[in-house]
Structure 1
Amino acid sequence: MERGAYPASISIIGAGPAGLAAAEVAARAGVRVTIHDHMPSPARKLLMAGKSGLNITHDGPPDTFGTEELAPILSAFGPTEIRDWMDGLGQPSFIGSTGRVFPKAMKASPLLRAWLARLADLGVTLETRARWTGWTGDALRIGDRLVTPDATILALGGASWRRLGSDGAWADLPGLDGIVAPFAPSNIGFRVAWSEHMTRHFGHPIKNAALIVDGVAHRGEVTLSAEGLEGGGLYPLTPRLRDGAPLTLDLKPDLTVEELRDRLARTPKASLPNRLRKLGLDPVQIALVQEWGRPVPSDLAPLLKALPVPLLGPRDMDQAISTAGGLRWDALDADLMMISRPGTFACGEMLDWEAPTGGHLLTACLATGRWAGAAAARHAMRA
């Protein structure tokens, strides 16, 4: 389609998965689409996620996404539709043993190349090194230019992994005052002040243990690192731990306190490490008891069932897999349009939603991007 033949124009700020998804839908609707991104190349965070296989979605029930605002959006474009979309790009997928969905190529670059080629065929223009710095009246400030599209889609990301483009700086721009919930790290490790003797255990997991928060036991992978604890077992607990809920470890989750007492009574004169070893604790667990359990009580069983973990708070937000906070849902209408600025839509991780791990964040980015893209195209056509 010739440039002058387009009936309307849309500017999309951000070339991550949400912005690219919005561009695809809007371009198919027949409007001229330009994506502006301040980085030298698009979708850098997607490519980083692809280094670990690109868990793009999850073949689980919709309620695992955790917010009612997303329900109609995911009904329109959920895990099944994502897999069909991937097939259409020549990138078939498979479902792993835990329900997580990956491209068979196990990386993001082939998918991104095919996607960018499709967008180019649809006439989408991608401008890199083009930072949006807010509004002048109704116009967008893009670098040293003013741009006035018929509709705008903000796909600005969260506030982690700054070097990949998500710096969260947009939240402080005039015009967004009072409608952005503060950012907080999500799906992240927590800091611990280790003593020197723990150094040799860094990089080793805590096995056969349960994490107890608010009286509920959780199983999952947790690893010791120089900064503290990290791993997927902590990620679902991030909101409560971030708010200060105490964490304890149950080092023998399959035994009761009484059963532990009976077993400990068989070795009353052995040293502490030997008593713990005879219980089946491994070197990491024994080291944790010695690190966090002193002074060691005469009745060891309750300690082993609830070893206190002295967390010092989450690691730096820039190290988080994702962030909580962002543009509040009550600032948007059902089309994801900003109530305070008609014609401006929002999508992706910049929305105020704390995503669980397992492909949920990417799913919501794609789904909200497409939802905003369709709504923005309708608005632009009317304009």
Structure 2
Amino acid sequence: MTSRHVAIVGAGPAGLFAAERIASAGHRVTVFDRMPSPARKLLMAGRGGLNLTHSEPLPVFLDRYRDARPWLEAAVATFGPSALQAWAASLGQPCFIGSSGRVFPEAMKASPLVRAWLKRLDGLGVALRMRYRLLELPGSGHLRLDTPEGERFVGADAVLLALGGGSWARLGSDGAWTRWSGLSPASLAPLAAANCGFRMQSTTGFPARYAGTPIKPVAVAFENERVRGELVVTRFGSSAGETGVGDGECGLEGGAIYALSGPIRRAIERDGRAVIRLDLRPGMSEAALCERLARLRPRESLSNALRKALRLPPVAVALLREAGVPDRAPAALAALLKAVPVVLVAPGPLDRAISTAGGLRREALDPGFMLRDRPGVFAAGEMLDWEAPTGGYLLQGCFATGLAAADGLLDWLRAGLNPPR
């Protein structure tokens, strides 16, 4: 096949992986990105340990994508967790499986993997053009870009967009592409916070001094799902540079609530609120709690009694009080400890979310991830309308859709639907 010029916009995991695939097929690839350097969000995510993927069985893994599973299943099945681990090993970054089933490079950090990856891309002839911002939806084989030298037009035989969602704007994903005039409103689901914290409704004025305090162990139940993990009390407000949220309002964030953020967000959109239930002692049965509580001295304060009997920290007692003055009867108090109701009224700010939901709808793309109304323009990664919890599912989805869009682009070029430029 005659070598073509392919432009990729977005130097995150989806864009760079697509660039590797397309360049390996013999095409000239240029990657444009508005940031000063590539893979900034990936590097930030890997500071505490780069969670590449998860080791659980593929059917369970695919269920983590919820409603988007039918759309992503073929892509993730083609390039799944084992393939991603093999790819990392090919860059000199073998992986290991942690006790939680999550998969990490042995080096833990993202920087060694990114350095080896960029070296491979350079060897394939991939050109990186940093501080180049795409100004409008591409069409007619050209891109209009804002560059350090001013506005430029760049020709390409095909274009692949990997522009990310709307969280962590300072690292490149600012969601500005959703405001392009060429996008049909029907093709776009509004961006929304995913893997995010939520504001609590407080009747007692939940003490802001607990902001930053962990709640563990804990299990969160909502609708018919239950997730065990960890929560942290967080504070939203103008003092943190946020708008639309009263200063000092508290909420909850952490892995136990991130996994349920999609259903919680949709319930708030539908009903104006969502009531979650916290199990403050997930390792104990209600009967065991009742037995311990029956030994409490009636005249002892509730805080002291719960601290002594159950090692319950003050923040957990504050959550109990938020649910109403607890009945000191052992059975009633044990039942409350296993299902403390917490009313959530709004997700946290979009830019503080780990990821976003919304983006280009499935109906806007053909099976090869090409925009139906823009021949030769493909899309991948978080700018597509899917979401997943933390735990490796986000990165796996980005890599898998990057590969699927690259293969769709290569098939389109092979079909000869666009003459060489």
Same topology, TM > 0.5:
yes
CA contact (8 A) 1:198 1:287 kept: no
Q: How does 1:98-137 map to 2 (within 5 A)?
A: 98-135=100-137
1:329–1:82 CA distance, 2 compared to 1 (3 A): same
Q: For residue 260 of structure 2, what is the aligned residue in structure 1? A: 237
Q: How does 1:1-383 map to 2 (within 5 A)?
A: 7-63=3-59, 64-65=61-62, 66=65, 67-135=69-137, 138=140, 139-143=142-146, 144-177=151-184, 178-192=186-200, 198-214=207-223, 216-227=225-236, 228-242=251-265, 243-244=267-268, 245-253=274-282, 254-256=284-286, 260=290, 263-264=293-294, 267-284=297-314, 286-289=316-319, 291-297=321-327, 299=329, 300-301=332-333, 302-381=335-414, 382=416, 383=418
CA contact (8 A) 1:158 1:168 kept: yes
1:109–1:146 CA distance, 2 compared to 1 (3 A): same
CA contact (8 A) 1:10 1:377 kept: no
Deviation for aligned residue 1:311? 2.6
1:331–1:137 CA distance, 2 compared to 1 (3 A): closer
1:266–1:60 CA distance, 2 compared to 1 (3 A): closer
Deviation for aligned residue 1:379? 2.1
TM-score (norm 2): 0.83
Deviation for aligned residue 1:217? 3.6
Q: For 1:282, give the aligned amino acid.
A: L
How many corresponding residue pairs?
379
CA contact (8 A) 1:62 1:71 kept: no
Deviations 1:119-176 (A, max 9, x none): 1111111111111111475122122222231111010101100000000110111222
Distance 2:313 2:86 in 1: 47
1:336–1:264 CA distance, 2 compared to 1 (3 A): same
- 3-state DSSP class of the match of 1:167? coil
Deviation for aligned residue 1:286? 4.8
1:15–1:136 CA distance, 2 compared to 1 (3 A): closer
Distance 1:199 1:353 in 2: 34
- 3-state DSSP class of the match of 1:224? strand
1:312–1:257 CA distance, 2 compared to 1 (3 A): farther
1:206–1:342 CA distance, 2 compared to 1 (3 A): same
Q: Which structure features the higher share of strand residues?
A: 2
Distance 2:328 2:107 in 1: 55
More deviation, 258-267/24-33: 258-267
Stretches of structure 2 lacking an aligned partner (at least 5 in a row): 237-250, 269-273
CA contact (8 A) 2:219 2:280 kept: yes
Q: Percent identity?
A: 47
TM-score (norm 1): 0.91
Deviation for aligned residue 1:193? 6.8
Aligned alpha-carbon RMSD (Å): 2.4
1:208–1:339 CA distance, 2 compared to 1 (3 A): same
Deviation for aligned residue 1:105? 1.1
Deviations 1:227-276 (A, max 9, x none): 42221111111112222231122334433379628834753333322332
- 3-state DSSP class of the match of 1:335? coil
Deviation for aligned residue 1:284? 3.0
Distance 1:261 1:103 in 2: 45
CA contact (8 A) 1:189 1:234 kept: yes
Distance 1:341 1:282 in 2: 58
CA contact (8 A) 2:219 2:256 kept: no
